[in-house]
Amino acid sequence: METAKRLEGIGEYYFSQKLREIDGMNKEGKNVISLGIGSPDLPPHPDVIKVLQEESAKPNTHAYQSYKGSPVLRNAIAAWYKKWYGVTLDADSEILPLIGSKEGIMHICMTYLNEGDFVLIPNPGYPTYRAAATIAGAKCMEYTLSAENNWFPDFAAIENNLYINRVKLMFVNYPHMPTGQLATSSLFNQLVIFAKKYNILIVHDNPYSFILNDEPMSLLSMEEAKDCVIELNSLSKSHNMAGWRVGTLCGSKERIDEVLRFKSNMDSGMFLPLQLAAAKALTLEKDWHDSINAIYKARREKVFELLDLLECTYAKDQAGMFVWASIPENYKDGYELSDKVLYGANVFITPGGIFGSAGDKYVRVSLCCKEENIDAAIKRIKENK
């Protein structure tokens, strides 16, 4: 049986295969310390878990749910956007809860892309953008991000591409993963102007805005942004709920209705107790985020120490739950350094090349690991030098 042509060029997700390799090493007794994946190791707030427990125990909460999500959750999302981002959203028509924002990326691609359409993909950037666009039949047009340009798009270079008028979607992601670069109002304004000029739909992926960042921003806060922007958001990172799979798509009623046409044929609504617990999470105050960020700050200092040991260079003002670092010149690429650390010290750090060719000379280290484990990783690397 042959697989569908749409899967040509789509390999197994890097972390899927790497985790399998690490699992094999652990079975050999090597006890690998993984500093790779950004899966929060901290629990959600106890009140959130309490709501899930209480609602799950009720006999009337186990039925199929609305494809548009519970009004309780949609209203909570609207209040959250207003409070933290200063964005007014109609809870009934401008919000679509998702089973994690990753599914939203695929829903968007399948809703808007035809075979041969072009999609602007950041390099470096989240690999799922490319995979989803390719599966939908589109052609990926990379736009390179560089440290010299603060990891912002070079709009002049993008406009010089011969196929610019065939671009339908553009994926952007700030705070940026993997580089941790924060956006500015000027950048967001440029994106809206650019999108309107070329009739491009901007897809802003915004899951990291609360991690090590005191001023969360939404691209939808820009004037007239709803005309050309849809934004994905998630509770995975901000509320330590990655495995709960709770995300949201926000935008104009027209965009929400269009995506819902696809989504409603692909899945059903989320388990109601999950939605009600998520609504509770969205009411948490600044002290919750401050407490989580205090832990990440302490871990980041340890990661800085580890990267100094590897003679990497990095910016100290990165947001998000990773540290992005440039490798020493004596390594061919981040894969070489990652492999040296993995096979020599039994410590896994992510090679930047998995995020695109512009990440070849970088590595990424996750903060989703206890301080004592980072200390143990530092010790192992010292012993292996």
Number of structural domains, the chain?
2
- Which CATH number does the domain housing residue 237 bear? 3.40.640.10
- Do residues 230 and 295 share a domain? no
CA distances from 287 to 117, 158, 203, 294 (A): 45, 41, 30, 10
| The last residue of a domain, from among 262, 281, 300 | 281
Please choose, from the candidates 305, 294, 324, 309, the residue with its C-alpha nearest in 3D space to the C-alpha of residue 381.
309
CA 65/CA 213 separation, integer angstroms: 34
Count other Cβ atoms within 10 Å, centred on residue 379: 13
- Do residues 143 and 258 share a domain? yes
At residue 12, the pLDDT reads 66
At residue 216, the pLDDT reads 96
| The last residue of a domain, from among 258, 281, 304 | 281
**Angle at the Cα of 120 from the Cα atoms of 10 and 205, rounded to 5 degrees:** 85
Which pTM does this prediction carry? Answer: 0.94
Assign residue 58 a region: left if phi > 0, alpha if psi is -120 to 50, beta otherwise? beta
- Do residues 69 and 185 share a domain? yes
- Do residues 234 and 249 share a domain? yes
Core vs surface per residue 111-130: b (16+ CB within 10 A) or e: bbbeeebbbbbbbbbbbbbb
- Do residues 155 and 263 share a domain? yes
Can you spell out the DSSP letters for 161-222?
STTGGGEEEEEE-SS-TTT-PPP-HHHHHHHHHHHHHHT-EEEEE-S-TTTT-SS---GGGS
Question: Tokens representing 57?
Answer: 């125990």
- Do residues 241 and 341 share a domain? no
- Do residues 199 and 305 share a domain? no
Domain that holds residue 198: 46-281
Assign residue 327 a region: left if phi > 0, alpha if psi is -120 to 50, beta otherwise? beta
Helices 127-135 and 101-112: crossing angle in degrees, nearest 10, is 40
At residue 128, the pLDDT reads 93
Asked if residues 113 and 137 have their Cβ atoms less than 8 Å apart, the reply is yes
Torsion of CA 157, 161, 167, 172, to 10 degrees: -20
- Which CATH number does the domain housing residue 358 bear? 3.90.1150.10
Asked if residues 247 and 205 have their Cβ atoms less than 8 Å apart, the reply is no
Asked if residues 371 and 302 have their Cβ atoms less than 8 Å apart, the reply is yes
- Do residues 220 and 348 share a domain? no
Please choose, from the candidates 211, 243, 240, 244, the residue with its C-alpha nearest in 3D space to the C-alpha of residue 322.
211
Asked if residues 173 and 209 have their Cβ atoms less than 8 Å apart, the reply is no
CA distances from 185 to 83, 123, 157, 174 (A): 18, 22, 21, 11
- Do residues 33 and 136 share a domain? no
Dihedral sign (CA 154, 363, 325, 211): positive
User: 85-135 pLDDT, tens per residue?
Assistant: 999 999 999 999 999 889 999 999 999 999 999 999 999 999 999 999 999
Please state whether beta strands 322-326 and 167-172 pair in parallel, antiparallel, or not at all (unpaired): unpaired
Q: What is the block-wise mean pLDDT of the chain (385 residues), using blocks of 10 residues?
A: 80 73 88 88 96 96 91 98 98 96 94 95 96 94 96 96 93 97 97 97 97 96 96 96 95 97 90 97 96 97 97 95 96 95 94 95 96 96 86
Please choose, from the candidates 208, 165, 199, 172, the residue with its C-alpha nearest in 3D space to the C-alpha of residue 367.
208
At residue 13, the pLDDT reads 66
At residue 336, the pLDDT reads 95
From the centroid of its chain, how far is CA 94? Answer: 21
At residue 325, the pLDDT reads 98
Question: Tokens representing 372?
Answer: 């004592």
